[in-house]
Amino acid sequence: MSAGTFFKTFNSSDRTTTRTLLHEAIPITGALVSGTYNRTSANAGREKNIKVYSHEMFQSVYDYPYLSSSANHIFDISIGISPSSSLSSSTATAISKKVNVYNQMAQVLNGYDTNGNIREFDSDGSFATNKGKMRECIFLNFSRLLVKDEIKKGSFNLKLGASDFTASSNHTFTITDHSGSNGYFVNSPAGEYGILYATSSTIAGNVGGFMTGTLPTNTNDVTNRGTSCILDGSGRRICGLVFYQAGVCVLTASLFMSGTAASQPGAFMKPSLTGYNALGGDVLFQTASGPNRMRTMLTGSSITNLADGIRNKFIDLSFNNTTELNSTIYFCRANHNEFNYSANPTYLSGSKIRVKGNDILTPPRAYVTTVGMYSADNELLAVAKLSEPLRKDPTNELTLRVRLDY
């Protein structure tokens, strides 16, 4: 190659590829989810950042009033009931919609079994038996704007109030996927997912918090009411699943139910906790007809009203998203006998090289300021700028590293 050549072809040894994962913390406050803007009659009495739909299949939560051009979609919330649940009675309110929501989410996230049936949500990820099935579920479908490529494993944290009508700091759930970084599953058509575990706040006089007490320790739910109360090998209570690439959180509705192994094997909390509430230990939700509990609302309320009650239990939600950055790195090599001249019209003054001076014994030199990446048909595809000019002459060689991110 002559000293005056201004183009050079890359060889296979001049390029390599790399993959980088970038993470961003996503904090979502409970005040935002429960509604931070004034209620309007046009929005069925809800806050302006909560969008409801006439089909009443789900609600959408925004960070600003949803009619604003500055509003960003955060997530959708919905509730579904499996057709095999004992609560899927034909007389239940909006049961067809709840079953449709469950089936749609299960079809996308779980797929089908060998018999062509939609798989139910399984609390331990095995799909092997009829144990551990979550048949009444709360779905949080996060926007791609927040999730990016996926939720970072082991970063999911959700805090819910568990007392009266609103999020309470006295009695709370803390839900995490603390084993997600190395204990996730890959048997979902929607990608990888992890198990969510719940712990509770400590209440005076009840050591260990309100989820202690007599609870079933197996996954056999004889009443088909979900099995969020089951314990894993470390004694942690399983309460749902988080699908990392899909950006979906699935919680069992029995999070908000109490019971014993004999009467309510699908329930989550210790019954009859003094000072807890007045409806048999269940978490209370405010409805148009007064305080109500989850097991009643699942069959007697619309999805919209259920979503209202659940939103008002939010205290904090946070996770780290993941952006996968794929890069191609090019090593632009200038040997000692290459790129010692410039094609810039100002490089010459008459017949003299400006940067060389008058001494004819001085070797030619150039100052590299830009690297251009061209296609095979000489079309400029990318430009890389140097922070300062680099001197190039026959006495030195340069290797410039150019990275293209996708």
Q: What is the pLDDT of residues 179-192, one digit of tens each?
A: 767 889 999 999 99
Helix/strand/coil for 359? coil
Strand partners, 185: 193
pLDDT in the model for residue 344: 73
| Angle formed at CA 35 by CA 34 and CA 37, multiple of 5 degrees | 165
**How is the chain split into domains, by residue range?**
23-320, 335-405
* DSSP, residue by residue, 144-174: HHHHBTEEPTT--EEEEE-SSSS--SSSEEE
pLDDT in the model for residue 91: 86
CA distances from residue 373 to 19, 200, 328, 329, 398 in whole angstroms, order as listed? 21, 58, 12, 12, 17
**Which helix H or strand E contains 304, and what residues bound it?**
helix 303-311
Q: What is the spatial distance between Cα 392 and Cα 356, in angstroms, rounded to a whole number?
A: 12
Q: 224, 250, 261, 265: which is closest to 89 by C-alpha?
A: 224
pLDDT in the model for residue 223: 37
Radius of gyration of the chain (CA): 30
Residues in the chain: 406
Which amino acid type is present at position 63?
Answer: D
| Segment-wise mean pLDDT, segments of 10 residues, the chain, 406 residues | 68 94 94 72 69 94 92 96 88 93 97 92 78 88 96 94 56 81 88 87 40 40 41 68 96 76 47 40 64 82 90 92 95 91 72 63 82 92 93 92 91
List, in order, residues 6 or more apart from 6 with CB less than 8 Å away: 339, 341, 343
Per DSSP bridges, beta strands 172-176 and 150-151 are unpaired
Please write down the long-range contacts of 51-59, taking CB distance under 8 Å and 24 or more positions apart. 52/304, 55/97, 56/94, 56/97, 56/302, 56/303, 56/304, 57/97, 57/100, 57/101, 57/303, 58/101, 58/139, 58/141, 58/303, 58/307, 59/304, 59/307, 59/308, 59/311
Q: What is the spatial distance between Cα 73 and Cα 49, in angstroms, rounded to a whole number?
A: 9
Instruction: Tell me which residue has tokens 């709370």.
Output: 172
pLDDT in the model for residue 239: 86
pLDDT in the model for residue 316: 92
pLDDT in the model for residue 123: 82
* pLDDT tens digits along 356-380: 656 666 777 888 999 999 998 889 9
pLDDT in the model for residue 275: 36
Buried b (16+ CB within 10 A) or exposed e, 184-193: bbeebebebb
Q: Other C-beta atoms within 10 Å of 115: how many?
A: 5
Helix/strand/coil for 96? helix
